[in-house]
Amino acid sequence: MDQDGFPKDEMRYDALAQEALRGVVKAALKRAAAPEGLPGQHHFYITFKTQAPGVTVPPEIIAKYPDEMTIVLQHQYWDLAPGETFFSVTLKFGGQPRRLSAPYTAVSRFYDPSVQFLLQFEAPEPEPAEAVQPSAAPEHATEAASDESAPKVVSLDHFRKK
């Protein structure tokens, strides 16, 4: 039991649910990468943490989006390659093609406005270099200082047909 008297979730259902929902993102990207491309009016807004482990973005783009960026997959994207743990895509920035790669764990939001489908995810773990830095503040103080570290709940009620 934890300090509140509730049984400890040793199955980590929150993490299992996040992983399963990230599978929806991967499956959607695989459909978009198929020869037929995106069906109908579907298109995606994908927001990801640019400093998350495994993200590869050209330095000039990181300079513009040091924390988070949103990409749009609709008409002009090339070489979409959804892998098992990450995806890569080429997009134009300032008229120049640039290749981006991000693990699914870096994705913080996936939105298909054509059908009002939204998934929002917990923030990924910080870079390992940050974790190595010793901190003078007690652990609970740093957790309470940032609302971003609080868990976000994804309600499936938003996605059910009414």
Taking the model in full, what pTM does it have?
Answer: 0.72
The CATH label, of 2.40.170.20, 3.30.450.40, 2.30.30.220, 3.40.50.1820, for the domain at 13-127+137-149 is 2.30.30.220
DSSP codes joined into one string, the chain: --TTSSPP-TT-HHHHHHHHHHHHHHHHHHHHHSTT-S-TT--EEEEEETTSTT-B--HHHHHH-SSEEEEEESSS-EEEEE-SSEEEEEEEETTEEEEEEEEGGGEEEEEETTTTEEEE-PPPPPPHHHHHS--SS-HHHHHHH-GGGS-----GGGGS--
Each residue's pLDDT tens digit in the chain (162 positions)?
A: 667 778 888 888 988 999 999 999 999 999 999 999 899 999 999 999 999 999 999 999 999 999 999 999 998 999 999 999 999 999 999 899 999 999 999 999 999 999 999 999 986 555 554 444 443 433 433 333 334 444 444 444 444 454
